[in-house]
Structure 1
Amino acid sequence: MPWIDTIPYDTSTGKLRQLYDRVKGPGNNVDNIMMMHSLRPHTMEGHMAIYKNVLHHSANTIPKWFLETIGVWVSLLNGCAYCVEHHFNGLKRLLDDEERAKTIRAALEGGQITGTGLTDAEQHALRYAEALTRTPADMQQPMVAALREAGWNDGEILEINQVSAYFAYANRTVLGLGCSVQGDVLGLSPGNSENPEDWSHR
């Protein structure tokens, strides 16, 4: 049970029901992280706008499976099992290679970026995400320069930054309010990247 009151789909009304209808998955399932916002629906609206545009937008050029990998890594660093489980399932589905996905997860769970089998550029991105998560006040310009030297362009560096920053927010929403995966359908996501207003999970 969450640590604050939440309103389930069946008893929702008004603005909250409208937002639930936008974000729900099969069987009117609403992820628990979204239900955490039910007493202040405007915060759910803000959360979904950031999530959809940062992780699920057609203007991104980094493959979505790798953006999900960054999310899993940040969530592991923050000890957020909820986001790890949800986004590992998304990563696995998008990568369409279960063994490779398991290898990535096992390495990251052991804190071994080099054991993931990812490219040098991808490993640099994970190191940047780790530094931003663990010691944000210590970030320095050379860390961004290292990403550029590894082959990322500045727009892609922004994507890496924004996904890392989003998961810091999502992790703290979950961890600070006692959100669990109970009743959730793992691995659903707003797949229509062409339409930022389409939040439906499938």
Structure 2
Amino acid sequence: MWISHIPYAEANGRLKALYDRVKGPDDNVDNIMLAHSLRPHSMEGHMALYKYVLHHAANTTPKWFLETLGVYVSQLNDCAYCVDHHFSGLKRLLKDEARASAIRSALQSGSFSGVFTDAEAIALRYADVLTRTPQAQDALKSCVDAMRRAGVDDGQILEVNQVVSYFNYANRTVVGLGVTTDGDILGLSPGNSENPDDWSHA
């Protein structure tokens, strides 16, 4: 990491309280969270957004597909940190090594046929356009219209939009500060979707 940070053992006050909310086994705090340690309020904002966008019971898009969108956006942004973390999380959700491998290959090739439904493939195309050419309004609207025709309701379109937007933010946080996975435990997440205030990583 290219900026200084406060490790868990040296934290106190509000920062220590936040670390205790987000930590995993053995007091491990992911480096993406450690990167916020000089401004705990931004860590709190980041975690609230992450939890509500990706791990909330009110979402109706399957969590595995939201994670897939995150992996794809991170791949497009060359953010190895988020690809490694979230593909590990995706594998834990799927519990199917062959399916996970097929998804990874499809994302890397950009060929989604046979691996994803039509609706999922359109959502991935939307993620591509929003990530790489967000100024392409006609293409984005075309993707939104196509998702709707494929049976994706407007609330789910919003979920897709928010996950894609969140990962672009997270990727730029990581890439812009030189954050690596050194010392992280890959694949953990605040997965208790029923409790939006539970940020612990397990």
Match of 1:118 in 2: 116
Match of 1:137 in 2: 135
Contact 2:125 2:143 in 1 (8 A): no
Separation of aligned partners in 2, 1:143 and 1:10: 47
Separation of aligned partners in 2, 1:13 and 1:94: 34
Query: How far did 1:139 drift?
Result: 2.4
Identity %: 67
Q: Give the secondary-structure state (helix, strand or coil) at the position aligned to 1:34.
A: helix
Equivalent residue letter for 1:176: G
Separation of aligned partners in 1, 2:61 and 2:93: 13
TM-score normalised by the chain length of structure 1: 0.97
Separation of aligned partners in 1, 2:137 and 2:190: 32
Query: How far did 1:106 drift?
Result: 1.6
User: Structure 1: where are the runs of 5+ without partners?
Assistant: none
Match of 1:158 in 2: 158
Asked whether 1:96 is paired with 2:95, we answer: yes
Separation of aligned partners in 1, 2:193 and 2:108: 29
TM-score normalised by the chain length of structure 2: 0.97
Give the total of aligned pairs: 200
Equivalent residue letter for 2:119: A
Query: How far did 1:179 drift?
Result: 0.2
Separation of aligned partners in 1, 2:67 and 2:170: 13
Separation of aligned partners in 2, 1:108 and 1:142: 21
Q: After TM superposition, what 4+ stretches of structure 1 lie above 3 angstroms from structure 2?
A: none
Separation of aligned partners in 1, 2:137 and 2:54: 23
Separation of aligned partners in 1, 2:151 and 2:137: 19
User: Structure 2: where are the runs of 5+ without partners?
Assistant: none
Measured against aligned partners, the alpha-carbon deviations of 1:131-186 in whole angstroms (never above 9, x if no partner) come to 10010011232321111011100000000000000000000000000000000000
Match of 1:16 in 2: 15
Separation of aligned partners in 2, 1:112 and 1:173: 28
Query: How far did 1:95 drift?
Result: 1.1
Q: Give the secondary-structure state (helix, strand or coil) at the position aligned to 2:171.
A: helix
Match of 1:33 in 2: 32
Contact 1:92 1:98 in 2 (8 A): yes
Separation of aligned partners in 2, 1:130 and 1:139: 13
Separation of aligned partners in 2, 1:15 and 1:113: 45
Contact 1:131 1:139 in 2 (8 A): no
Name which of structure 1's ranges 30-39 and 98-107 shifts more when overlaid on structure 2. 98-107
Name which of structure 1's ranges 105-114 and 24-33 shifts more when overlaid on structure 2. 105-114
